[in-house]
Amino acid sequence: MAKKEEVQKITEDQLELVKKQQNQLGELLKSIGVMEVQKSNLKQQVKDVSEEIEKTKKELEEEYGAINIDLLTGKYTVIEKKEVEAEKNDK
């Protein structure tokens, strides 16, 4: 007759602990995935706003020339030609 092998098991408490830890890990990984999607969406929004800013800068430059704008008052000062060249060289 064949000898019956004894089934080896961890305790119920240990099994519950392992299950709980695996569930926690799964939830955390899921949260990271959601955050990565949110991060990607935010990066796209930053890109879109930056493009809008560049468009507005060009429109303002066409109307007023090269200027610096005080964002509190709306007043502007004309940028000297040397400053404009230096800014273009920095880009």
What is the tens place of the pLDDT at every residue in 25-44? 999 999 999 999 999 999 99
Helices (H) and strands (E) in the chain, counts: 2, 2
Residue 89 confidence (pLDDT): 74
Cα–Cα distance for residue pair 59/62, rounded to 1 Å: 5
pLDDT digits (tens, 9 = 90+) for 40-83: 999 999 999 999 999 999 999 999 999 999 999 999 999 987 76
In Å, what is the CA distance from 85 to each residue of 23, 31, 77?
Answer: 59, 48, 16
Output the pLDDT for position 84: 59
Q: Which two tokens stand for residue 72?
A: 């509190």
- Its pTM surpasses 0.85: no
Q: What tokens appear for 54 in the block?
A: 């560049």
Q: How far apart are CA 71 and CA 75, in angstroms?
A: 8
